Amino acid sequence: MHERSAGFIIRHRAPGGREPQYLLLDYGRHWDFPKGHVHKGEDDLAAAHRELREETGITDVTLVPGFQHEIVYFFRHAKRGLIRKTVVFYLGEVGQTQVRLSDEHVGFAYLPYAEALGRVTFATAKAVLRAAHEYGPTSNAAKLSQ
């Protein structure tokens, strides 16, 4: 069985050019990024926006063009057996750090890169964060509000 999800790596750069901070969500047992299942008839980017809105309340995000990073992993579901999961991540920037958490999460944090890298739980999440952090300047960002 195969599942597909989509999500965002969200970064916030405070005025004055300080180091960007990355949004992490506390799922109770692990720290990760906002993401979720792609619904039938929905494209990856639309799913990423919907999941971001549902999980954080964030609707005003600027998409950083050209960044798209996929990860693949396997997990065992109690009823459905072994599942191959593909997650595509986009890079987005926000101007403010307000978050309205869904009941799926117990907390959140905006952290500088090194701290965020230490906090995310899974090796695949660390790889996505590294790729996002190394992905060039923010000046070519395209404004998208959904």
pLDDT of amino acid 141: 44
Across the range 105-125, mean pLDDT stands at 95
How many residues would you count in the chain? 146
**The model's pTM:** 0.88
C-alpha to C-alpha distance for 64 and 130, rounded to whole angstroms: 15
Convert the pLDDT of each residue in 92-114 to its tens digit: 999 989 999 999 999 999 999 99
pLDDT at 143 over 80: no
Specify whether the CB–CB gap between 9 and 129 falls below 8 A: yes
Strands (E), 13-132: 21-26, 31-32, 35-37, 60-77, 81-94, 107-112
The residue behind tokens 């790596």 is: 9
pLDDT at 80 over 80: yes
Across the range 3-19, mean pLDDT stands at 88
Q: How confident is the model at residue 117 (pLDDT cuts 50, 70, 90)?
A: very high
Domains of the chain plus CATH, in order, are 2-145 (3.90.79.10)
The residue behind tokens 């999800």 is: 5
Determine the residue type at 81: G
